Structures are given as C-alpha cells and as structure tokens.
Structure 1
Amino acid sequence: MIKLFVIYSLVLLAVSQAMHFDKDILDWSLFKLINNKEYLDETEEAIRFEIFKENKQFIAEHNKKWDRGEVSFNVALNEYADLLRHEFNEMRNGNDQNGESVEGSKFLPPLGVALPKIIDWRRLGAVTPVKNQKQCDSCWAFAATGALEGQLFRHTANLISLSEQDLLDCSVSNNGCESGLASRAFLDIKTEGGIATESSYSYEATQKRCRLDNVTFGATDSGFVQLAMGNETQLAIAVATVGPIAVALDSSSGSFHYYNGGIYDEPLCSDTHLNHAALVVGYGSENGLDYWLVKNSWGDKWGEKGYIRMRRNAGNQCGIATKAVYPLL
C-alpha cells in the first residue's frame, strides 16, 4: 500500500512538473509572437527562455504581494522580459550620470499661489502622444522635447511634436545614443537657433550626421531653469504653474522595468544613481498615496499606456526631484 502511494505521488509530481513546463512553453511562444522576437540560433533562444522564466517568476511573486494588498503597484510581462536587468539598463535609459553638468537659471516660485490637488497637463493639451526611444539610450532627448513641447503649447496654444533625432544628431554637448542631459540639450537648441519638428526630422533610434538643411523648425529656447535639488514641493509648484518638467530618476529596478499599473513605490530606489530621464506631466493622490504622473519613452504598451505614477512626498523617492529642469522660451 505504501509502495503504491509513493508511485502515485511520483506520477502526480511528474504530471505537475510537465504541466508547469508546458505553461512556460506556451507563455514563451505567445511572448515571441506578440513581440516579434527572433533569435540568432537555438543556443541564444534557450538562454533567453531561461531569462524569461526567471523574470516571469519575479513578476508572479510580486503580484502575489499585490493581491494581498502589500504593495501599491503591479507588474506584468512586457517586451523586455527576455532581457537581463543590466541589459535593459544599458539600452533603455541614457541619463548622463558622469558627464559635465551645466548651470541654469534659478527657479523662483511664485508667491501666494494655491496649488491644485490634482494637475494633469495631458487633459490641458500640453503633452504629445507617448513615444518610444527603442534600443537607443536617448531618454534625455525625449525628456527635453517633452518639456519644450509643453512650454511651446503654453506660449502659443499649439502642440507640436519636436524631433528627438535632431538632438541625437545635432546636440554636440550630448552623446547621442550613449547618454545625455536635457539641460545640455536646451543650451544646444539655443545655440543652433531651434529644433526641428518631428514630421520633418523623424526618429531613427541611432545617431547620424546632423541634417538641418531641409527641415522645419518647430521651436527654440533661450536657456533653461533648474529647480532646487531634491525639493519635491518646488517640483510640484513648477508642474502646476509652469507645465511639464524634465526629470532624472533611478529606473534600474526590475519592478520599474515591468511596471504595469498603480502607484510605483520602491523605497530601495536611489536618489543619486539617476540612470533615466522622463517627463513629469502632473501629480495627484489615490488611496492616501501622493504620486507624480510621469510620461516615459518606452512606448504605450509599457505601464499605464506609457505612463507611470510614482510615489510623491516620500523622501524624493528614485531621485525624481534631484535634477528637474525646464526650458525658457
């Protein structure tokens, strides 16, 4: 009887493992199909499959906490699920952490302004659709164009999509697909006399020679303003009274890579290791948690249709207020 029970248990275990293995295979096949994934050979695919399973397990464990109400955001499989964390960080970020910084004008908060509890510049018409930097560390360019697009709208009531490719090719103070800073981009736009429209200088996700002979210039600036380092109150004032603000932040965690929805709260985030740049387009509160509304540049399939709500008033989490800037028109 005992022998029969042992055999029965082993059979159940084998069936369970086979079902689990088949589910991994099914999820992998669906992942490749949805994201048009192709690999050099069977060896590379086998490696990517193992990475995929590890990321899938990470996601499952996190979402168990979400189901139990222990965390304020959930994560999900996305097109990056076959990448190691360091691979992701090397090709989807680009904020220059080690390069030369430049000084801008000091932000002077207006006096006697009652800030709204919620602000969303998308609803007010100052934000272009979510873009995708693809396999190019050009987040700095997207943060810069987003902030300038917002200021252009506020000054002219016209929302014009501006060219990140122009900045990749022509911003001599930055490093194309390797790294850059929005602040240096603003100064280069001033020196160059303007920045092209997206429609006349489209994005190619690689640095090429500067080609401004036959483009349409969409905007220019006269410099930039930098906010007090790490001051979230000042950032809120600027977002409410000025418009979308370019920021740097730490996006190196797997929880950020696979963010799907909710208010991102990652206490282990660094406020000094700022490897990514993005655009704060608003703020608000939900279920007692304050958040920043942030436009990312990883396409509209990531996060909340390309956006992430990041924890606000929690000690400058992820360094979101450490290096905040916007252009002057």
Structure 2
Amino acid sequence: MDTHKSIRHHLPSQSLLFFTLFSLFQSCLCWTGLSVQYSITGFEPEYLQSENRMMELFQQWKKKHGKSYENSEELMNRFQNFKCNLKYIVERNSNRSGNSMGLNRFSDMSNEEFREKYIGKVKGLVELSQRKHTRARSVLMCDAPPSLDWREKEVVTPVKDQGVSGSSWVFSSIGAIEGINAINKGELVTFSEQELLSFNKSNYDGKGGHIRNAFEWVINNGGVVSEANCPYTTADGTCSTTKAVNSIVHIDGYGNVEESDTALMCATVNQPIRVGIDASSIDFQLYTGGIYAGSCSSNPADITHAVLIVGYGSEGDTDYWIVKNSWGTTWGMDGYIYIKRNTNLTYGVCAIHALASYPIQTTSAKSPSSAPSDSPPLPPQLAPPNPSPLPSAPAPSPPLTPPSPTPSSPSPPPLSPPPPPPTPSPTPSHKCGSLSYCLPGQTCCCLYEFLGFCLIQGCCDYSNAVCCPESDYCCPVEYPICEADTGLCLKNYEDKLGVAMKKKKWAKHILSLNKHEESAGDVTYQTLKWRRNWFAAIR
C-alpha cells in the first residue's frame, strides 16, 4: 500500500545552500518556511547555481507535464514562478520534518493563481449548528482494523481531473457513490460528474458549490448515469439529455459523521467518505509525498476543497488518512495524499473532520453491465417438460376395487402422523457495551455520554437505527435526518413530511440476558406527519 517513492538527494551543505539560493533568487518575492523531502531527483547542485541550467530544468519540467505558453512574456513569467517555487521547495525539504514537496503540475503557478483556478469555496456545510440535528449515530468505538485501503478491495475508481474549476464537490460526491455502489453490488462502475454539473447549474457558480446538494440532487433525480454516457469535459460542459435518461445507480439518503477521528475511522471502515478540507496553502499546492500536516487551516469556515477518504494507515508512530484528490495523477502521490490523523486538533488537520458525509444505498439498482431481462430461467428440476403430441383418449376403464386381504397377507398398520417441525430458536440478543444488551430488531444507542464514554446504554426500536446525537430520540435508517426542532425524521432536508422520532429505551442488564426470549417485534413506523410545532410532533 506504500506509495512513497525512493528518493536520492543531491543537496550541498546548509550554509552553501542558503548562500546559493539567496544569490540566485534575490529578485523573486517568494514564500519562505520549512518542510521535508523531495522531488529534484537526478540534478546536481550546479543546476541551482546557473540561470541556464535552471532554464534547462524548466524545459524538462515543461516537457514532462505537457506545458506550452502563448508568448515569450508568459514563458518568462512562468519561469519566475517556477524558480520561486523551487526555492520554497528546497528550503522546506531541507528540514525533513514531515511531507515532501516537489515539482508537480502546479510548479509554474503562484499560490494566488493556483487558488483562483483550482480552489473554490465548498458551501453549505459550514453550518455546524445544523449538523448537530442531522449527524449519524454518535460513535464511541468500533471494531476497526489497524489499516484499511479501499483501493485494494477494488471499490475506488481511477483518479480523475476536474481541470481549471472549483468543482471538487462533484468529484468527491460521485467518488463516494461509486464506492458504496461497488461495495453493495460487487462491480466497480465510473459515474458521471458532468450530468450532476449540467443539470444542477443553480448549485455551481464557477467558484464552488453546495456539497450537500450533490447527494440531494442524485436522490431527487432518481440516480446518475455512467461516465460513458456522459463524460466529463469541463465544469461548464453539457450532458446530452438523450443519454442522461436511464440512471444506473441511485442512493436512498445520506448521513453525516461526527467530528472526531474515531467517528471518521469507524465510518471509513464501512465505505469511502466524502470530506471537505482547506487545500489553499502553498505546501498543499506543491505536495509530492509523505504524511501531510502542513500550513493549512483547521477552521471549518476556511474549507475550500472536497476530497474522498479511501482508507487509513500508520507509518511508525504517525497515523494518516489515505485521501483521493481530483487533480489528476501528476499531483501528489499519483493523485493521492496522506493527511495526518489522531491529532489534538478539534476538527483535524485541514479541518478534515468537520464536514464528513456519506451516501446511503439500501436498495438495489439496475446493473450497468446488463440490460433488463425477463424472469430468470427456472432451474432444471423445476422447468416444465417439453410438450409432446397428445395421444387419443383411451376408452374409460371400469373402476378398480382394492383386493380383499387374505390370511397370508395381513393389512399394514396405519401410518403414524409426521412429527411437528422443530420450533425455531429465538434470534439472539446483542450486547451494548459490556453490561447491557438490546433485543433483536433494536439498535444500541447511548443515553448518557461523559468524556467520550457511554455511561448509560439505551435501545432504539428500529433495526440499524440512526441514534440522534444530543437527543433522547432515534430515527429509522430510511429517514436518517434527525430534525430535533420538529421532532421528525426526514429523508431529505427539503421534505415537508417525515415520521416522528422514537424515544430511546433503557437497555437491559446483561445478567438477565438468559432469562429473556422476547423480541422487539416487527418494525413499524409512525404515520407520516407534516413538519410543525416541535412539542406537537414528538411523542
């Protein structure tokens, strides 16, 4: 899983290095700071001491990344940006304290231009007060492996390139849908970002979009088509309405993840997770490898980009998230970045905890590789026999009478009735923590939490329920949005109808586990209600 590149460094001593860089780049107004490893592999120090050799390095970089410019003036401006960025890379990498920086696809751009062209503003999810009513169940702990990479399980599509746009919110959303669909159906299919952008113009202003509306649009549209039917061109491109008519994948809802490392890891165990981050810093722009814990903001209000968490791991004592970006494979580690996890930051490095969410897919959809067909063929033992010509009807025979018993052939004794079928064993109850349990058909929900530990366990009368955090109520998974103000569980934020929340019950003590054969019974939902007064809705 390790994607780090083997790197050799050819750098002079620190004193000579800084003297050389100062004399070479004194005309540039560049970034200064600290960092870590590489990307100037194969170039001797004299490349940093000669303008001609710097131009030679620039020309090689241009050829590698397929760069061309309109005129000589733009060429020289790009060359100046290249030199300034290289100065920053060498200074940061000389410290060797974390991630590496290098000459990637953005090395001829100033950070201001990079922000303008590739960084938007992820909107609509910075309302943390609203998320308290809509987050999924509060997670204290889970049975998670020490490392996980969904790419190895073939549920992650190849890295895509959003181009010059702020459309990352679409790419991360589609990536999350691709992941859950592959997990549920065992088939990895690439879906269309262009359809979402083409028919959801009101959500995109060229600089970013409301990330929450991406899932909602797919739900309301009845799904999304494959990328083959509507390939991505640009953020302003169009999708043929004749091709975008048969959606091949759909989702039933979406949920949000609690703002913590543990909750995010437990969510990632189930599927790839869409997250928002701040990606506007110069060291993020020039990232080429290692575990990133750079100069990005950890304030949710500064989130500028959306990406996809596809796993997690550790290197020594440092833990990290495996994050898929949408800037092509010539950025980062073939399009990926490792972002440090398990820090003391409330919202994580780059605010990666703050806006995590995931699609919910509870029902099946049409497989993209097969057309609709009639009923499946019957197995051979159930198939009707081949028809044959019917013979003419024979003459009726006289009724048969049973032979009279003889002394040598006594009548057989009457058959005894068959034994009754065995009584099915009751579905076992499941534990909630170490001292409590819930009945079959119920979900464990914490009633009272203190310092990250659940002190009192409860049960919800829904299977796989959403335990509304900071509330005594719960919702069915089909209505995952907890709206405490009205006391309703909603499928979508805009819905006017929902089902009433159910109140959590106290869990049973483990000492009575063997004494009870009871069950929670069939799951029944409350009648759909209009959104109205909070006290009138809850019961």
Name the TM-score, length of structure 2 as normaliser.
0.54
- What's the CA shift for 1:149? 0.6
Partner of 1:74: 100
Q: Is the 8 A contact 1:92 1:136 kept in 2?
A: yes
- What's the CA shift for 1:235? 0.6
1:323 aligns with 2:355: yes
Partner of 1:9: none
Other structure's SS at 1:292 match: strand
1:218-271 superposed Cα distances (whole Å, 9 cap, x missing partner): 31112210112x32211111001x210000001111111111111111255333
Partner of 2:66: 36
Q: Distance in 2 between matches of 1:65 and 1:100?
A: 35
1:259 aligns with 2:291: no
Please say which of residues 39-48 and 287-296 is displaced more in the overlay: 39-48
Q: Distance in 2 between matches of 1:18 and 1:158?
A: 50
Structure with greater helix percent: 1
Q: Distance in 2 between matches of 1:254 and 1:279?
A: 21
From the superposition, tell whether residues 268 and 141 of structure 1 become closer, same or farther in structure 2 (CA, over 3 Å): closer
1:136-147 to 2 correspondences below 5 Å = 136-147=165-176
Q: Distance in 1 between matches of 2:157 and 2:326?
A: 11
Identity of aligned pairs, percent? 32
1:50 aligns with 2:76: no
- What's the CA shift for 1:182? 3.2
From the superposition, tell whether residues 196 and 176 of structure 1 become closer, same or farther in structure 2 (CA, over 3 Å): farther
1:61 aligns with 2:87: no
C-alpha RMSD of the superposition = 2.4
- What's the CA shift for 1:87? 1.3
Other structure's SS at 1:190 match: helix
- What's the CA shift for 1:99? 8.2
Q: Is the 8 A contact 2:122 2:306 kept in 1?
A: no
Task: Report how many residues are paired.
Answer: 310
Other structure's SS at 1:206 match: coil
Q: Is the 8 A contact 2:218 2:224 kept in 1?
A: yes
1:78-111 superposed Cα distances (whole Å, 9 cap, x missing partner): 1111111121122223342478968684312578
Other structure's SS at 2:265 match: helix
Partner amino acid, structure 1, of 2:103: L
Other structure's SS at 1:136 match: coil
1:183-222 to 2 correspondences below 5 Å = 183-209=212-238, 211-215=240-244, 216-222=246-252
Other structure's SS at 1:195 match: coil
Other structure's SS at 1:304 match: coil
From the superposition, tell whether residues 54 and 192 of structure 1 become closer, same or farther in structure 2 (CA, over 3 Å): same
Structure with bigger RCO (C-alpha 8 Å, 6+ apart): 1
Name the TM-score, length of structure 1 as normaliser.
0.87
Q: 2:197 aligns with which of 147, 162, 168?
A: 168
From the superposition, tell whether residues 54 and 110 of structure 1 become closer, same or farther in structure 2 (CA, over 3 Å): closer
Q: Is the 8 A contact 1:105 1:224 kept in 2?
A: no
1:269 aligns with 2:297: yes
1:221-300 to 2 correspondences below 5 Å = 221-228=251-258, 230-240=259-269, 242-266=270-294, 269-272=297-300, 273-300=302-329
Partner amino acid, structure 1, of 2:276: A
- What's the CA shift for 1:209? 4.3
Please say which of residues 53-62 and 163-172 is displaced more in the overlay: 163-172
Partner amino acid, structure 1, of 2:93: N
- What's the CA shift for 1:176? 5.9
Partner amino acid, structure 2, of 1:270: S
From the superposition, tell whether residues 28 and 287 of structure 1 become closer, same or farther in structure 2 (CA, over 3 Å): same
